[in-house]
Amino acid sequence: MSDDAERDELVDDETIPEDVDEAELEEMAEEDPAAAFEHVGEIPGTHLRAAEFWDDILADMEATAEEYETDGWDTLQLHPGDVTALVPDEHDDRFGLDVLAPDDEFEELQGLLEGDASFDAYEVFRAMADGLVLFVVAMEDRDREIAVLYPAYYDAQNAQAMLTAAESAGEMRTYVRTLTEEQIEFTHDEPENFGPPSRGRRGRVSRRRVSRRA
């Protein structure tokens, strides 16, 4: 079966409601992030075709976390129910990645920050597939050896305004939030590390390690 046919089959699958709106998807994301991701479609900020690679991205995140843990680090993995590329406009000047996290994982992240963790460095692992930039980000507290990891993606064709804003600001931003709009912001210097990799291939997400200060 061709890739296009597979995507058409997913769209026609009766398990995917045609009338799911953004609020309902976010509620589903809170209850079961994996199930929510399977229902992405024409809702702003989501891409049905990303579902094809989502399991690989999560597997890469888990493998990366294991590497940190083998080196003696503590890790926290975030499992987003939705990821949105934010483009600044006249009503909202935010840009970067909006990551909807489950409440329990967000609270754990808050606890780390309240415990004086300082995530001032990062690693990013990038790949390109089907017009999407796919990556895993690891925010690092190198003094305490703690890493917070999260997967993300964006449509390369539609994200140029986001990348331009990041280049102008000299930093990329990630907003980790909950349904109640509690929010934690990460900033990353050298925003070009979040741009499309020069080479990518369709298939399993491959990892390219880029270490930078945040």
Q: Assign 28 a pLDDT band (cuts: 50, 70, 90).
A: low
pTM to 2 decimals?
A: 0.74
Residue of 1 and 50 predicted with greater confidence: 50
Tell me the mean pLDDT in the region 161-190: 95
* CB-based contact 100:179 (threshold 8 Å): yes
Tell me the mean pLDDT in the region 7-16: 37
Q: How far apart are CA 88 and CA 121, in angstroms?
A: 25
Structure tokens, 24: 């309902």
Q: Among positive and negative, which fits the CA dihedral 89, 185, 125, 149?
A: negative
Residue of 10 and 127 predicted with greater confidence: 127
* CB-based contact 207:136 (threshold 8 Å): yes
Domain carrying residue 17? 3-213
Count of structural domains, the chain: 1
Q: How far apart are CA 96 and CA 186, in angstroms?
A: 10
Instruction: Answer left, alpha or beta for residue 190, where phi above 0 means left and psi between -120 and 50 means alpha.
Output: left
Tell me the mean pLDDT in the region 51-76: 96
Q: Assign 115 a pLDDT band (cuts: 50, 70, 90).
A: very high
